[in-house]
Amino acid sequence: MSTSLRTSLRTPPAEVIDTDAPVLPVAASASAPLAAPSTSDVRPLWKTFLFFLAPMLLSNILQSLSGTLNNVYLGQMIGVSALAAVSSFFPMMFFFIAFMIGLGAGASVLIGQAWGANEPEKARAVAGTALTVGVLFGLCVAVFGGVFTQPMLAALGTPPDILADATRYARIVLIAMPGLFVFLLATAMLRGIGDTVTPLYTLSISTVLGLMITPALIRGWFGLPQMGVASGAWATVVSFVVATAWLAMHLRRKKSPLAPDADFVRHLRVRPAILKAVLKVGVPTGVQMIVVSFAELALLSFVNRYGSSATAAYGAVNQVVAYVQFPAISIAITASILGAQSIGAGNSARLGAITRTALMMNLVLTGGLVLLGYLFSRPLMGFFITSAPVIEVAQALLHIMLWSTVIFGMSAALSGIMRASGSVLVPTLISVLCIVLIEVPFAWWASHRFGLNGIWAAYPVAFVAMLVLQASYYRLVWRKKTIRRLI
């Protein structure tokens, strides 16, 4: 839901978390319509979901396409070694980005609650704290990472023949981390005030610039120097700097409550109470991402034992599944933000309706993509693989697990609505334990008993367990709780 930006109401700055905030009973009634920040908005809830969801879904697709195409540039225009050099930096990059995504998720929930309560000054206080922490952390990464880039990459086992190229690429990105963190946090926090269109425009600018600058630097077009493997890094830096500058000007022009004006600057400091609340929501989210990443590495090691054809099939299937999961992930974020706004507005009767709408949206949108995936599984695998026998293997693997993406989406939606109230630890623990204690061990056992297909059966087994446990906690515990606004 991209709502119009409200005129800022001058309320006293929120120095601490409001411990006297109203206690809201959780209700599952759909009788009350979802009230947007503007009381004149009476559109049906499913339309509100779509208005919020569509730009965010496009943003996710753009981001994925940008990474894919940049890898194509490096692999096709320079060579496999260039692609390997960039890929070797990914584990380190993912760790830092996971922390920022967690910080942004926590901030967006608190901002959503403040926005729903019609308290833009508190929203600014949360944004100021999150941005300050992001910049400080980014500076630490830039200094430490910039100095010790090569030793860190060597510790990750980067092959000696690509270590120099990987170091050049990684050092540029690491030194630019403060700016990249601001870019990531700003686009995430805007969702808290119901704005998913501005982040879409911002990401579009960044993506288009990156896709233009990378090949220009590789080939030395337009009189630019040839930068080799570092082309992708410099293109990334230039694109997010330009996009962030445009975002700042756009928010000031639109008089957004999160615009970087003189009033916002005074909020750029760390408020310990607010930071504690942000981290309460954000840290488990970041930890979950890291655990998922490690689990994927474990499953990949199982797959690699079956040879390069199995690894190629794994990569092709993951490409398709990633796009099918975008609606599920975006729906969960939408449920979290709209739920936070409802809690802030003291309208808890909407939470049940938001949950049911999220589940319905997941069934329709994610389920629709799953159906298309089954109908066109062979052509989809053919986009990535030319060998007929490998296409057969990849198609079989896709058939085994694709349906479970809908189950994953249901679980993510329930987790998202609970996150809106600050209930993050148990839902995150459920997800992590299902991955660590069910998915990875089952994949190991099934690979020995059923071969390659057994590894892929681990996904639906883990997702079903996750949904059962999340739904049980939601119905038996969370719905009976009372909710305090976090800010």
Q: Cα separation of 202 and 188, whole Å? A: 11
Residues 6 or more apart from 229 whose CB is under 8 A from it?
74, 78, 82, 85, 86, 165, 166, 168, 169
Q: Is 397 in contact with 453 (CB distance < 8 Å)?
A: yes
Residue with tokens 């408020």: 271
Q: Is 336 in contact with 196 (CB distance < 8 Å)?
A: no
Residue 345, phi then psi, degrees to nearest 5: -80, 0
DSSP secondary structure, 256-309, as one string: -TT--SHHHHTT-S--HHHHHHHHHHHHHHHHHHHHHHHHHHHHHHHHHTT-HH
| pLDDT for position 252 | 94
DSSP secondary structure, 27-73, as one string: -----SPPPPSSTT----HHHHHHHHHHHHHHHHHHHHHHHHHHHHH
As a 3-state breakdown, the chain gives helix, strand, coil percent values, each rounded to 5, of 80, 0, 20
pLDDT tens-place string over residues 67-112:
777 767 777 777 766 766 776 677 678 778 888 888 988 999 999 9
pLDDT tens-place string over residues 276-333:
989 988 888 888 888 887 787 788 778 878 887 787 788 778 878 888 888 898 899 8
Q: Is 483's pLDDT higher than 50? A: yes
144-151, long-range: CB within 8 Å, 24+ apart, which pairs?
145/92, 145/170, 145/171, 145/174, 145/175, 145/177, 146/171, 146/174, 146/175, 149/174
pLDDT tens-place string over residues 33-65:
333 444 344 678 888 888 888 888 888 788 777
| Residue 385 Ramachandran class (φ > 0 left, ψ -120 to 50 alpha, else beta) | beta
Q: Cα separation of 288 and 444, whole Å? A: 21
| CA distances to 65, 81, 104, 145 from 62, in Å | 5, 26, 19, 28
Residues 6 or more apart from 369 whose CB is under 8 A from it?
323, 324, 327, 405
Q: Is 134 in contact with 97 (CB distance < 8 Å)?
A: no
Instruction: Give the dihedral of Cα atoms 173, 176, 180, 181; nearest 10 deg.
Output: 110
| pLDDT for position 465 | 96
Q: Is 416 in contact with 424 (CB distance < 8 Å)?
A: no
Q: Is 347's pLDDT higher than 60? A: yes
Bridge partner residues of 484 (DSSP): 23
What mean pLDDT comes out for the span 145-154?
A: 87
Where would I find the H helices in 345-387?
350-361, 367-375, 377-384
Q: What does the chain come to in residues?
A: 487
Bridge partner residues of 23 (DSSP): 484
Instruction: Give the dihedral of Cα atoms 272, 274, 280, 285; nearest 10 deg.
Output: -110
Q: CA nearest 14: which of 109, 108, 110, 131? A: 110
| pLDDT for position 285 | 81
pLDDT tens-place string over residues 238-266:
999 999 999 999 999 999 999 999 889 99
Q: Is 9's pLDDT higher than 90? A: no
Give the residue with greater pLDDT, 345 vs 445: 445
